[in-house]
Amino acid sequence: MNFNLIRKIFLLLFMVIFLSCQQDKNPVTLSPSPVIDSLMLPAKWNTLSDIVYKVEVRVQDAQGFSDIDTVNFRIIDPNTTTLILSGDLYDDAAYYHADDGDVVAGDGVYSNRLTISQIVPSETNGEYTFEFAAIDKEGNHSQIQSRTVLFAPNFPPGIDEIAAPDTIVVVPASQIITISVHDHDGYDDIIRAYFESQSQRTGVRIYEADMFNDGNYELHGDEAAGDSVFSARLDSTFVLGKQGNYNLLFHVMDSFLEQNETTAVHEIFIGNSPPRIVNINLPETIVRPTASGVYKYGLITVQVQDAQGLGDIDSVYFYSRKPDSTMANGGQPLILVDNGIPFDPDNPSPYSGDLKKNDGIYSLSFFIYSDYAVGIFTFTFYVKDKAGNLSTPEVRTLEITD
């Protein structure tokens, strides 16, 4: 008998039983106290204006959000340890406290909105400590989370000049737009500059790009770092889906998260030339099969171009008129795709037999069965861009014969 083997098995069983007993004696339990997960409040508050600042605290509780009773705050002068102000934050979607700024009720995010005039006399500068704590319905307290906030005077930045084209049809590789800015606290106080586009027809705003003051001319078009000029280099995506008169809206933000008080606007006309069909590959004639249940396979491809780039293509499609002059597919367009997905007869959409993704060649596979009508099918092809421009239609025919 192999006593060494028996001894090893015995020791293994002993360890399993021992560990099982240990786990029974010391079960893992979650903390009963709520936990403050994160704080969200500006690090700098402007004493020259009575701006409303939003304060948010995200709280977790192992027993669920409904177990949280209150979340409170205290504002303390760290030099004297004097309590300046105390109050509560709320998670009620501003239902019971209309000005608390809370967005979603019961999500564990507690909010309130404060102004400096509620906290200290006008133009009282200095650093103050904000302390936050949560208490659940059993009286358990979370840890205290604190954040130091600077109260100081601040003058918002401004934009002095915009350099941008008045008209764009196709974006050249060298197209750069710039703004010249000012800030009472120096250019280093500016933490962000960006611009949006706004259609004058619809009023819809679209974020476009951040602007930079980093001296990276190749990437951002900026010639010198740390000066008063912020720059952005445009690419072909700027004109995608746009056509007509637009406003370019420029913004600059400082370390107090304050922006230029007057929005800087530049009007621009964006001309979006329509796409065009370059080539259509379609069989001229197909002999329909004679046996029932047998089909012949065909592939239609359409190559397209757009002066704004292929990213401006919205759809490629065609209408099919049958030999009896009725419309195929209930008169609805048949969509071609450029997704590079091989053909699957059991799931032809989106598995339409396209050979290469995003190469500007759109594809659609089809079958011809023995019961298909003989005669001439007329296909009318279109390509539409994201601005709604349509190409000149292209007509081709396919004859099905016996």
CATH number at residue 134: 2.60.40.2550
Give domain status of residue 125, yes or no: yes
Give domain status of residue 1, yes or no: no
Tell whether 286 and 260 lie within a shared domain: no
Tell whether 130 and 235 lie within a shared domain: no
> DSSP 3-state helix, strand, coil percentages of the chain (rounded to 5)?
10, 45, 45
Tell whether 141 and 42 lie within a shared domain: yes
111, with CB counted inside 10 A (0-12, 13-18, 19+), is buried
pLDDT value of position 349: 75
pLDDT value of position 23: 37
Tokens of 121: 């006399």
- Give me the phi and psi of 185, to 5 degrees please: -95, 10
- Cα 194 versus chain centre, distance: 16
Give domain status of residue 383, yes or no: yes
pLDDT value of position 6: 43
Tokens of 128: 């103050």
Tell whether 289 and 390 lie within a shared domain: yes
Last residue of a domain, which of 152, 176, 201?
A: 152
The sign of the CA dihedral 110, 113, 119, 123 is: positive
- State the CB neighbour count (10 A cutoff) for residue 281: 12
pTM of the model: 0.69
Q: Are 230 and 179 in contact, with CB atoms under 8 Å apart?
A: yes
Give domain status of residue 346, yes or no: yes
Please count the helices (runs of H) and the strands (runs of E) in the chain.
2, 24
> Based on the structure, what is the number of domains in the chain?
3
Collapsed DSSP state (helix, strand, coil) of residue 117:
helix
Range of the domain at 280: 276-401
Tokens of 63: 């027993």
Tell whether 281 and 396 lie within a shared domain: yes
Selection from 225, 205, 206, 207 nearest residue 215 by Cα: 225
- pLDDT string in tens for the chain (402-residue length): 444 444 444 444 434 333 333 333 334 345 689 999 999 999 999 999 889 999 999 999 999 999 999 999 999 999 899 999 999 999 999 999 999 999 999 999 999 999 999 998 877 899 999 999 999 999 999 999 999 999 999 999 999 999 999 998 776 667 899 999 999 999 999 999 999 999 999 999 999 999 999 999 999 999 999 999 999 998 878 888 888 999 999 999 999 999 999 999 999 999 888 999 999 999 999 999 988 888 889 999 999 999 888 988 999 999 999 999 999 999 999 999 999 999 888 887 778 899 999 999 999 999 898 888 999 999 999 999 988 899 999 999 999 998
Tell whether 297 and 256 lie within a shared domain: no
Q: Are 301 and 280 in contact, with CB atoms under 8 Å apart?
A: yes
Half-sphere exposure of 259 (CA within 13 A, CB side): 11
Collapsed DSSP state (helix, strand, coil) of residue 393:
coil
Tell whether 254 and 147 lie within a shared domain: no
Which residues on neighbouring strands pair with residue 136, listed in sequence order? 68
